[in-house]
Structure 1
Amino acid sequence: MKRTHLPLNGLRVLDAAARHLSFTRAADELAVTPAAVGQQIRALEDTLGTVLFRRTPKGLELTPEGEAGLVELRRGFLSFEESVRAMQAGQSSKSLTIAAPRDLTAKWLLPRLEAYRATDPELRFALVASDHGLDFTEANLDLAICFDASPGGHEGAEIGPRGFAAVGEGEVIGWPDSPEPATGGLTVADAGLALDAAHARLGRALVPAMLAATAPTLEDPRGYWLVAPLPQWRQKKVRALVAALIG
């Protein structure tokens, strides 16, 4: 069933004016002018097609039509407040869902999460692989780490140096984002495996400098970013995590 458009501003003004039976005192509560209260009430009366207040020698009084809906109106505002509190409850949660490339998770993220959790044993982390793109809504993510030239359409903070570092000697070990194609017989799934293969003397790996924990030897516009949509980025628990990871 299609819902009727609710004039929420007018209904909020009605609630205040009905409690005070005074446009002036309602205006003080709402931090607006008495004229603005009067305009909202008149607009609401036009929308509803009924008179809500009458002026009498004793002052302002509600009409029977105006009084008829107040109980349900106030119950509705209480429900709105409960709904807002429920939506805000996640900000005080100490559970965070993080998406990151598998190689960066193993070689960089996990040690930092361990150190962060040591500051508060109630912290809980759920880790999701982000090798195939990010969907904050579907995965219910709080924060993600991506390898790109920018944070894209999200808020973001860059971590580590940009560019690639060469590790090992011999033929180039291939992996999907390598700046150079494989020149030998070895191709692996990600930079972490390429780095492991180079350490095992199976060839030369060109991997993100931050992953190799060494200075870059090859310039590249891409780097690692902590990213999140603005609502998540503003959450206290996400800001604290970002500070812990880049601090």
Structure 2
Amino acid sequence: MVRRLPPLNALRAFEAAARLGSFTAAAEELAVTPAAVSHQVKGLEDYLGLPLFERLPRGIRLTDAGRAYLPQLTFGFNHLARASAALAAGEARGVLTVSVLPSLLRRWLLPRLGDFRRRHPGVSLRFSMTSVYARFSEGEADIGLRYGSGEYAGLQAVRLLDEVVFPVASPSLTTGPQALRQWADMRRADLIHQFVTSVPDPWIQWRPWLLAHDLPEVDTEGGLAFDDASAAMQAAQDGLGVALGRGVLVADDVRSGRLVPLFDEVRRADFAYWVVGPRASFDLPKVAVFVDWLREMADTTPSADAIL
């Protein structure tokens, strides 16, 4: 039986646009122009004989047919990528140096690394734990794992994990006569802050939250401050105050009851976690298998809805 398949480029264009929600974002991922993505998607719609997107004045929206088509294509492309990575794994050898945020390494990556080592014993991982961007041109790292906007001049960036932010505290602060039950109680709470050397996501700072709840008088300068999210979350577990937790980093603590989300409020973070590096690095077998594995782990990471 002869397989009749639409053009591969058209399928890639549709899958990326549908997954990312825009032709522009798909164009950035595929390294083409938005017009090229639009043209490819139109060609696929003509081939199939039905529309996959509604074209709106401001953006696009999947049709019922597009929503039904997307999961199958995403599964297929992921399967192809993993099959290719598995084939390349026979050549994946050597030392892979990864620049990574300490909090992401400790709270998300380390618990999963055993799986990678079992699959790819020929790759030796070296981690540089830092919140400062690696100087790839000087050989400081092959790739980096960063939290940011995805705009890294001269580098390729692969979106890994989206993020949400919400207030968290030790269960000890949610019981008794001084329990924190509503936003007004934050007037007497100790705040735990995070400060970073790169441009911060505004929602990991306390000021926007307090202003949104008419609490401008709360002192956002006092309290404990850390340049590492892991330390901030440990301080919150120890009952030293209220912190702003990122879902990816505190998921295990929330599930175990070590931390409790407060006030039933979650904000979608402006930033996400990215795999970043020179374009040439992504062609190396040792990098290709690691990035593919990272994306597989990201696909199996529960969303915030599953932990809250």
Q: Tell me if both proteins adopt one fold, taking TM over 0.5 as the criterion.
A: yes
User: Relative to structure 1, is the Cα distance of residues 110 and 220 closer, same or farther in structure 2, using a 3 angstrom cutoff?
Assistant: same
Match of 1:194 in 2: 232
How far apart, in 1, do the equivalents of 2:241 and 2:221 lie? 9
Quick check: 1:205 aligned with 2:231? no
Q: CA RMSD in A?
A: 2.3
Match of 2:190 in 1: 171
Letter in 1 for 2:274: W
Q: Contact (CA 8 Å) 1:158, 1:226: kept in 2 or not?
A: yes
User: Relative to structure 1, is the Cα distance of residues 192 and 125 closer, same or farther in structure 2, using a 3 angstrom cutoff?
Assistant: same
* Deviation for aligned residue 1:111: 2.1
Letter in 2 for 1:129: M
Secondary structure at 1:238 match in 2 = helix
Match of 1:104 in 2: 104
Higher relative contact order (CA 8 A, sep 6+): 2
Please identify runs of 4+ aligned residues in structure 1 that moved more than 6 A.
Answer: none
**TM-score for both structures, normalised by structure 2:** 0.46
How far apart, in 2, do the equivalents of 1:195 and 1:158 lie? 24
Letter in 2 for 1:171: D
Greater Cα radius of gyration, structure 1 or 2: 1
1:12-161 superposed matches below 5 A: 92-153=92-153, 154-161=155-162
Equivalent of 1:232 in 281, 284, 290: 281
Equivalenced residue count is 157
Match of 1:222 in 2: 271
* Deviation for aligned residue 1:184: 4.4
Equivalent of 2:223 in 174, 179, 185: 185
* Deviation for aligned residue 1:183: 5.7
Letter in 1 for 2:193: G
Give unmatched runs, 5+ long, in structure 1: 1-90
How far apart, in 1, do the equivalents of 2:151 and 2:295 lie? 15
How far apart, in 2, do the equivalents of 1:223 and 1:166 lie? 18
How far apart, in 1, do the equivalents of 2:288 and 2:92 lie? 12
How far apart, in 1, do the equivalents of 2:269 and 2:121 lie? 39
Secondary structure at 1:187 match in 2 = strand
User: Relative to structure 1, is the Cα distance of residues 183 and 172 closer, same or farther in structure 2, using a 3 angstrom cutoff?
Assistant: farther
Give unmatched runs, 5+ long, in structure 2: 1-90, 174-188, 197-203, 208-219, 255-260, 297-308
How far apart, in 1, do the equivalents of 2:130 and 2:225 lie? 20
State, as a whole percentage, how many aligned pairs show the same letter: 24
How far apart, in 1, do the equivalents of 2:145 and 2:236 lie? 24
Letter in 1 for 2:94: K
